Chain A
């Protein structure tokens, strides 16, 4: 069931959107949502609609900008792209995220009690 899909942590969606835009250049909301679904291998539980809250938040912070344009199949849609401040923010956030994941990995690497050597203290 879809219950096994990942619930998004607060703020992760913003980061995913930024990363997607960095990788893909200019993209409309549907494209971003689809891209995230594809990259995650449909592991992420995403109501596509929620992406718009994230988009407006990022835009207000000045990390992305938007422009109405036309899609490949001639549909009018709003296209988003990352700004320079957005890139800097993304770099910062991804560094933080990587540090956090490496810490978490080490945490989980700890074996069950007893296997670890007793400390000197």
Chain B
């Protein structure tokens, strides 16, 4: 008689966990008593201190920005700079380049679509 996927899944989900000896936790704790107490590597910093420092920086930046705007004279005229890129752009935008560009876009879109489907299937497994 054959075992179907559902039955196999049910068997696996229902499998019992092994039970260690009654003294397991006690044995572990006894050995732990001989160990040095662990110390967190992350320094504990109060969030208010972080927010305070952030607020000081933000105020300072905004202050400098306002001061700069207030003291700027807008009467100056910017020198005219002309950059002609039309030649370079026309050279680059060949039909072959456009086809290659679109092809890469399609490949990226397919990879992304595939990853979405894989994630969905993984969840339903």
Our verdict on whether A and B bind, yes or no, reads no
